[in-house]
Amino acid sequence: MKYTITFLLLALLLMSCGRRDAKIQQKLTGTWGVDINLKGRQLHSTSIVSPDGSFADEITGFADGRIMKTEGRLLATNGMLIDIVTKNSETNARVPGTLRGRIVRLNDHELIVRWDGNDKDAVLQKVKP
């Protein structure tokens, strides 16, 4: 009986985190665009994220004109974003691959993520809901 209150408080905390993650996941739904500077080359990524977190991404701007396509899942959990790539059109790509980052800010128009291992924030703009 003495641990009942502690257990209930912990359960409420965990449930509220789950609801917050669900709200973040809902805000992630839509089409996002980001410009990437990779070794002096300007690339552009467009990602379409479904309500269930699945995504399809295209990266353009390569010198040879190719378009890199990836698919996977984008999951929000505890203020973090987990990008799990399950398909990649690049021949030598490691699949599955996982990228983790901290969500700095997310609103209806912008997503800012600090990906692990990067010292700069990625700023994605929502192209359409």
Please report, as a single letter, which amino acid is at residue 48.
I
Of 96 and 11, more confident: 96
For tokens 């699949």, the residue is: 95
Q: Dihedrals φ, ψ of 55, to 5°?
A: -140, 160
Please report, as a single letter, which amino acid is at residue 66.
R
- Which pLDDT score, from 0 to 100, does residue 111 have? 95
Q: Which two tokens stand for residue 101?
A: 């980052």
CATH numbers and ranges of domains, the chain:
4-128 (2.40.128.280)
Whether the Cβ atoms of residue 122 and residue 43 lie closer than 8 Å to each other = no
Condensed to tens digits (0 to 9), the pLDDT of residues 31-73 reads 999 998 878 889 999 999 999 999 999 999 999 999 999 999 9
Cβ-based neighbour number of residue 74 at 10 Å: 22
- Which pLDDT score, from 0 to 100, does residue 36 have? 87
